Structure 1
């Protein structure tokens, strides 16, 4: 039994007329009749009751009509999905990201991905900055967002945007945008910062911001996770310095004072393996080209 014979059989079953079916199937009527006869011989059943005026499906023919329709529909779906997977328009992309990215770039990127390639599924993992590169090399993720970039011959990287730091305070704190002048105002406060082991360059940048105001922060709690730091600040357990992007997704009772005048900026880059030939990755990278990260607007 061949798929072509099933297609011919369904054509006749739809029309219940060999002449009309042959026209729609672009096959001569005698050839069509031979194909149906061969199918009946292979199956050892009669599929049509024929006389000079009528063609009617037998019970076996009615059963085969239902099952063959389902089978050919599945085959067509397999063909389409195979083509989509080959072109990168269907499949999975595993994304590793710091906590701040979920407050900034991740939601609009995934919205754009869904708009342009609705059959691509993103699997998200919040990964510590110092483990992103390891996760890539171990093929645990396909692409990563990272604050620090180290030269690596096995990886490609591109800076997406730079952003300011912000002083993060409990909602009830006396300092606000109107009376804030410099970090010297909080030099005696308790700080909640990431541990140095998580990202030495990032950690050193935070310290240099404080050193410029002639103080060393009194760090009372450490956490690698932005959401944890925000929750601790909310409960008056200390204050923090964080990328301003956390402001746009936080519903906690904290306030952000953007440090626009300081020279230190934190950047977010995208990084991926340079030998990765996964076509889904290429589609994802195309989406990153559609987005103006610095101004948070789509390019036309």
Structure 2
């Protein structure tokens, strides 16, 4: 017997009428009768009691109706899930992102993705850039927002925005306006800098900014995590150059002063990606933030 024959049996067990069941299942009454007879012969049991006026289930028929109904519901659920996976309507995506977009781009992206594909689940993580590239290659990550263009083979990098950079200073600082940021003023300050040994793109970017002012920054504290830097700034332990997106974090005791520089933001994923849910996510992202450059 096959699944359709079992479905026909379930339908007949509910209707208890051969003609109505045959019409409902789009087969002839004689074909339905032959199917039921073949099932009874294969199973070696009687499924229905029949007479000229009534059709009723036998005890074996009642038992199989209960069991097969559950199995068919489970099977239908499995088929539905498989269809959703194929269409990218469901799945699990792991996305890395810098702290600077935690209160801006990430909520916007997650909200829109959730509206369009509510059954896709997302795991958000924050990693160092070196670990991001390795995790993408090893399939431990599916997508990543980064401040650095990936040049690894097999990794796509699309620039989705250029964001302003700001100097974050304690509220007690004498610096309060863009015109206050001069080489002479910066030489007198203590900075909190990215870690030099990791040689991230943003580390070199900060160095380039300082060089443009003719300043060799003096620093006692180092971190590659923006929230840590801002926490130190709020305690008056120095100032930091960070992407302007950190203004949305609302750290108390911190003032942001926009600088005449911009930092690129890229989205990266595997070039050979086949997951429909990940491709749906990249489609949503490209609609929200049209690609301005691709590699």
Larger displacement relative to structure 2 (18-27 or 206-215)? 206-215
**In the alignment, structure 1 residue 265 sits paired with structure 2 residue 262:** yes
Residue matched to 2:45: 45
Residue matched to 2:226: 226
Larger displacement relative to structure 2 (179-188 or 51-60)? 179-188
CA deviation after TM superposition for structure 1 residue 17, in Å: 0.8
In structure 2, runs of 5+ residues without a counterpart are: none
Measured against aligned partners, the alpha-carbon deviations of 1:228-263 in whole angstroms (never above 9, x if no partner) come to 222222233322111111111x14314342324x2x
Quick check: 1:13–1:57 contact (8 Å CA) kept in 2?
yes
Which of 277, 282, 290 is matched with 1:280 structurally? 277
Residue matched to 2:196: 196
Larger displacement relative to structure 2 (271-280 or 173-182)? 173-182
The CA distance in 1 between the partners of 2:53 and 2:199, in whole Å, is 83
The CA distance in 1 between the partners of 2:96 and 2:178, in whole Å, is 39
CA deviation after TM superposition for structure 1 residue 71, in Å: 1.5
The CA distance in 1 between the partners of 2:178 and 2:144, in whole Å, is 39
Correspondences of 1:4-23 after superposition (within 5 Å) = 4-23=4-23
Larger displacement relative to structure 2 (87-96 or 109-118)? 87-96
- TM-score (normalizing by structure 2): 0.88
Residue matched to 1:240: 240
Measured against aligned partners, the alpha-carbon deviations of 1:107-148 in whole angstroms (never above 9, x if no partner) come to 211211112222222222211123322222222212211111
CA deviation after TM superposition for structure 1 residue 212, in Å: 3.2
Quick check: 2:230–2:254 contact (8 Å CA) kept in 1?
no
Quick check: 1:168–1:255 contact (8 Å CA) kept in 2?
yes
The CA distance in 2 between the partners of 1:200 and 1:112, in whole Å, is 30
Measured against aligned partners, the alpha-carbon deviations of 1:145-195 in whole angstroms (never above 9, x if no partner) come to 11111433322211010111112233x424464696215445433221210
2:102 is paired with a residue of what secondary structure? helix
The CA distance in 2 between the partners of 1:236 and 1:230, in whole Å, is 10
CA deviation after TM superposition for structure 1 residue 5, in Å: 1.7
Residue matched to 2:113: 113
1:141 is paired with a residue of what secondary structure? coil
Larger displacement relative to structure 2 (84-93 or 13-22)? 84-93
Residue matched to 2:254: 255
Residue 228 and residue 272 in structure 1: after superposition, are their counterparts in 2 closer, same or farther (change >3 A)? Answer: same
Residue 2 and residue 201 in structure 1: after superposition, are their counterparts in 2 closer, same or farther (change >3 A)? Answer: closer
Correspondences of 1:59-208 after superposition (within 5 Å) = 59-170=59-170, 172-175=171-174, 177=176, 181-183=180-182, 184-208=184-208
Residue 142 and residue 41 in structure 1: after superposition, are their counterparts in 2 closer, same or farther (change >3 A)? Answer: same
**In the alignment, structure 1 residue 58 sits paired with structure 2 residue 58:** yes
The CA distance in 1 between the partners of 2:57 and 2:255, in whole Å, is 75
Quick check: 1:193–1:222 contact (8 Å CA) kept in 2?
yes
The CA distance in 1 between the partners of 2:127 and 2:85, in whole Å, is 27
